[in-house]
Chain A
């Protein structure tokens, strides 16, 4: 399936395509499993994972709470280093700034690496429209570009393709049949890209972290190409979301512990580059001109919103995608946005501030909380999904049938007499459809459920109807409570009043 055209489809339709694509499902399962097992093992080995998660969360909370301050500090320091710093409020503005630079330096080609933000801005398209060729140099991105698709995973853009499909794509490019062998394929791409690096006019990257205290930007990667992109071409442009900031190098230590482990299970990526300004006189290499474009594009809408501000804490590690049982079955394109998986389901509508347009994405979750548990900075995505749903309902954009159904729900559940009556009626009604203790009927609201399951029937006697007899029976031979148990209960009651109850909510 192509990820480039979502033309008016719903998440359900797109998910349907994915569910019928055995190759895609197998490929996604295979790689997400590998990544999440790696992450789990790395977290266990680390030994103190939850404490570090909390540290990471605190750093992000603090930075975002003082984002103005740190952004200015970063920009000041970067300028001192000789970097041209630009602020872009919208995606269009960021594109305009990028194109202006490209025109001014008369660029013909741009080599790119590690930038989901440029995907968000559809920058390749824009460059193409002014006759500038953009070449993706991360292996996965390169494959996606050849296929004319969009990434379906934040860090593994071609996750939905198996090596046979990749071999076919690369063979077409090579003009000869390449074997589906990862080493051979990567070798071909490396050779092909080397020429491109040498002739490129601009190197363009994203940024994993921007360090305010020195105005530096830090990139994590495994292929070494980002290093080439930032050193070979004369002009360097970094596009970063305005939330990528962290205060100091000391904070980077925590982030560098969390990010690679969460993303791939690595203790550290093969390369970690810190870049502080363009080439200086004594430097052997590096760009002569360096730009950093700081992109808002909907991010600041989350500032001051108590339910969504934590979204800006995201470090784009992809762990929530790898842990998500929905993503596992439908892959990334079904989400219909640049960012997929649980983070995408929340971030895409949040950045657009248009709940109605993206409403169905928020429904593509069973709210199991695996994303929250996996997240290195503990973003409660499972709760945000509910807030999104609520905002849509409050805006009067709920599905009419569902709204009526929920009114009925409240009428029945808000009053025990009506609840009892409803159960009695249900018991009479189900006589028509119950066979061998179950319901297999595939019409009405049971259609979707019964396409995969048998529905149980209502019990002949509800618990509340049985209660009176049950209670008498119990009372007749109730034992005396063990004094230690009694003591334990009293202690539990006391402790929780003092806020020491051992059962809190939300501890993943």
Chain B
């Protein structure tokens, strides 16, 4: 079976270490990820801003890239969520619509694949640190990825999970929202970062680099040293330590 990596443009360009962690972690279970080079961006920035024609041009690279994959795994609930919008995006295009529907069915967020499909709960990691978790909105609300990350973290030896106050509140990223409504977004991310600090955790972990980039950016802006990691990185790091 062909399991493909949908890296997402953000992880490709800014956080390649997240993709690397996913590749290494899945390899431990005998999953050899395939990486189609024609993929670019899921088109979400254009889609959410109302530029659907432009979004389709970008989405086409994703549809082509994964046409013959059996599973498409991404490190972002939001980008996988965008693929779930493809049937709507291509609703008036009889040629692309079936491809969009097919891709939706075979797309998974990383922990969804690991826990739901492979049935892995314990990756055998050791990570003796205080960790707090931000559940990103699109992954948790729209894809319903809620228990998977918690299940994985519960099985990491030494990991102390500190609940994040108001965890389910949006971090204020929202793509172009952060630029268009900069002050509202700023108020939201500042509050989120305040809550992260309140936990006194050493590490903030999440499933979506866009949100984590947003929160980490604010934490760093204010001189805070909390480490910010994608869960795949934390797990891979923990496996190496075990």
Contacts and interface: CB of A to CB of B under 8 A. Distances in A.
Given A453-B221, A481-B31, A489-B117, A410 B173 contact: no
Nearest to B182: A448
A482 B29 contact: yes
A409 B52 CA distance: 12
Nearest to A393: B50
A373 interface: yes
Interface of chain A, helix or strand or loop or mixed? Answer: helix
A53 B57 CA distance: 37
B70 interface: yes
Nearest to B35: A467
B13 A459 contact: yes
Contacts of A363: 177, 180-181
Interface in B20-65: 20, 23-24, 27-33, 35, 37-41, 43, 45-55, 57-58, 60-61
B143 interface: yes
Interface stretch (A58-66, A292-300, A384-392): A384-392
Q: What band does the interface of chain B fall in when counting residues whose beta carbon is under 8 Å from A?
A: 35 or more
A369 B33 CA distance: 31
Contacts of B58: 409-410, 413-414
B213 to A, nearest CB: 6
B143 A505 contact: yes
B190 A409 contact: no
A73 to B, nearest CB: 35
Contact of A370 (B11, B169, B189): B169
A484 interface: yes
A284 B182 CA distance: 59
A409 B178 CA distance: 17
A329 B190 CA distance: 11
Contact of B54 (A12, A365, A406, A502): A406
Interface in A296-333: 325-326, 328-330
A23 to B, nearest CB: 15
B81 A326 contact: no
Contact of B30 (A15, A386, A479, A501): A479
Interface stretch (A247-255, A346-354, A490-498): A490-498
B176 to A, nearest CB: 8
Interface residues of A, number: 92
Interface in A459-508: 459, 461-464, 466-467, 470-471, 474-475, 478-482, 484-486, 488-490, 492-493, 496-497, 501-508
Interface of B: 1, 3, 7, 9, 11-17, 19-20, 23-24, 27-33, 35, 37-41, 43, 45-55, 57-58, 60-61, 70-71, 81, 84-85, 104-106, 108, 112, 116-119, 137-138, 141-144, 168-170, 172-191, 213-214, 216-218, 220-221
Given A366-B173, A450-B221, A507-B144, 17 more contacts: A369-B137, A369-B138, A370-B168, A390-B52, A403-B51, A412-B40, A413-B57, A413-B61, A416-B61, A451-B182, A454-B217, A474-B23, A481-B30, A489-B71, A492-B116, A505-B81, A505-B142
